[in-house]
Amino acid sequence: MASLSTSNSTMLMPLVVGCVMMAASASNFYQDFDITWGDGRGKILNNGQLLSLSLDKASGSGFQSKNEYLFGKIDMQLKYFHTYSILWNPQRIIFSVDGTPIREFKNMELIGVSFPKNQAMRIYSSLWNADDWATRGGLVKTDWSQAPFTASYRNFNANVCVWSNGASSCKSDAPSSTNATWFTQELDSTSQQRLQWVRKNYMIYNYCTDAKRFPQGLPPECRMS
């Protein structure tokens, strides 16, 4: 996956807020999420309306959804409360920030590229130190004098297919809700232009140009325009 840098204030530390958010219908973090690791560094606050992860030199922290999901559209505000979105349908996965697409992964099974359309998934998010590899190969190191570092999550919204006991809550593999246009949604021409702008101005790593990582040849999707 391509990596993105931001043009915000000076970066205090290189860290990864790893998010694989594949849907949920959460009105309260207590109801739909579990803190999975961190020895008290992950907390649910404000009567379930806020979830906070913390990272210090000893450990990070993480959480996951209680349920599994197969397709959906989700939004979540992360500190400093930009809105991060993932749209996942049988044709594509689109990652967006504040409504601007930053990554699209299309279903290219016809050329042998795996695509998640049969396996249900959970939401996972974690805060952890990755300054040995993620920051331009480890060139930028964490400034631990600024620790602890925190990530805050709020205003979760989802329109999704819940997977339980081997069956989807969406009948006939497609949601019937009038709000389920996401199931066939794709990027229009304007969104495509915005995605290209993001790639040109913010992308600092593209695995499709990393021949050293793939000495036997680049993945097949890299040959697609």
Q: What is the rounded average pLDDT of the residues 132-139?
A: 74
The answer to whether 54 touches 38, Cβ cutoff 8 Å, is yes
pLDDT tens string 119-135: 899 999 999 998 887 77
Q: Which domains does the chain have, with CATH numbers?
A: 13-166 (2.60.120.200)
Measured CA distances, 143 to 10, 15, 18, 54, 108 (Å): 12, 11, 19, 15, 41
| φ/ψ bin of 49: left (φ > 0), alpha (ψ from -120 to 50), beta (otherwise) | alpha
Q: What is the pLDDT of residue 144?
A: 93
CA–CA dist 47, 74 (Å, integer):
21
Q: What is the rounded average pLDDT of the residues 83-111?
A: 96
Residues of the chain with pLDDT > 90, as a percent, come to: 63
Least confident of 29-43, 101-115, 201-215: 201-215
CA–CA dist 180, 160 (Å, integer):
8
Query: Among the residues of the chain, which ranges form H helices?
Result: 29-32, 189-202
pLDDT greater than 70 at residue 191? yes
Q: What is the rounded average pLDDT of the residues 179-207?
A: 91
Strands 68-78 and 33-37: unpaired
Residue 166 tokens read as: 């081997």
Tell me how long the chain is.
225
Q: Using 50, 70 and 90 to split pLDDT, how confident is the model at 45? A: very high
Q: What is the pLDDT of residue 150?
A: 95
> Which has more confidence, 11 or 221?
221
State if pTM tops 0.85.
no
Q: What is the rounded average pLDDT of the residues 131-153?
A: 86
First to last CA, the chain: 16
> Which has more confidence, 13 or 180?
180
Q: Using 50, 70 and 90 to split pLDDT, how confident is the model at 225? A: low
pLDDT greater than 90 at residue 36? yes
Residues facing 54 on adjacent strands: 150
Residue 65 tokens read as: 């959804």
Q: Using 50, 70 and 90 to split pLDDT, how confident is the model at 40? A: very high
